[in-house]
Homo-oligomer: A and B are copies of this chain.
Amino acid sequence: MKTALKETLAPGERRRQEILSLAVDIASAEGLEGLTIGRLAGELGMSKSGLFGHFGSKEDLQLATVTRARDVFIQEILIPAEQRSRGLERLLSYLQRWLRYIERSVFRGGCFFAAAGLEFDSRPGRVRSLIAELSRNWLQLLADEIEEARSRGEIQASADPAQVAFEVHGLVQEANWAFRLLDDPDSFRRAESAIRNRLGAAATDQGAAVIAERRNP
Nearest B residue to A111 via CB reads B118
Nearest B residue to A34 via CB reads B33
Determine the interface band of chain A, counting residues with CB < 8 A from chain B.
Answer: 35 or more
Give the CA-CA distance A167 to B167 in the complex, in Å: 9
Stretch at the interface among A11-19, A46-54, A172-180, A205-213: A172-180
Which residues does A use to contact B, with CB under 8 Å? Answer: 28-31, 33-34, 108-110, 114-115, 117-123, 128, 131-132, 135-136, 139, 162-163, 166-167, 169-171, 173-175, 177-178, 180-183, 187, 190-191, 193-194, 201
Contact of A182 among B33, B136, B171 (CB under 8 A): B136
Main secondary structure, interface of A, reads: helix
Give the CA-CA distance A61 to B120 in the complex, in Å: 22
B33 and A180: CB pair below 8 A? no
Give the CA-CA distance A26 to B119 in the complex, in Å: 13
Residues on B with C-beta less than 8 A from A117 are 177, 180-181
B181 and A174: CB pair below 8 A? no
Report the minimum CB–CB distance from A116 to chain B (whole Å). 9
Give the CA-CA distance A31 to B175 in the complex, in Å: 22
Contact of A122 among B109, B167, B174, B194 (CB under 8 A): B109
Give the CA-CA distance A185 to B198 in the complex, in Å: 23
B174 and A169: CB pair below 8 A? yes
B181 and A31: CB pair below 8 A? no
